[in-house]
């Protein structure tokens, strides 16, 4: 993600949310009722947040 700040709600989510790193993979399998996903990258931090929402 680098230095790109992001605070966005993506619509139309279907299926799992997959986060891929070179050494690791995380799969989030939310209930189908959660058709949105919020992605947030706090400025100046080295982490990000992904949250399925309805």
Q: What is the pLDDT of residues 6-37, one digit of tens each?
A: 999 999 999 999 999 899 999 999 999 999 99
Backbone angles phi, psi at 45, to 5 degrees: -105, 160
pTM of the model: 0.80
| Residue 1 in this model has a pLDDT that exceeds 70 | no
Tell me the two tokens of residue 35: 């058709």
The domain spans of the chain are 6-49
Please tell me the distance from the alpha carbon of residue 13 to that of residue 31, in angstroms, as a whole number: 11
pLDDT of residue 2: 67
Tell me the two tokens of residue 34: 């959660």
């Amino acid at each position: 993600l680098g230095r790109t700040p992001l605070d966005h709600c993506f619509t139309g989510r279907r299926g799992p949310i997959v986060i891929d790193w070179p050494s690791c993979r995380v799969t989030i399998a939310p209930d189908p009722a959660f058709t949105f996903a919020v992605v947030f990258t706090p400025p100046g931090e080295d982490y990000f947040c992904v949250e399925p929402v309805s």
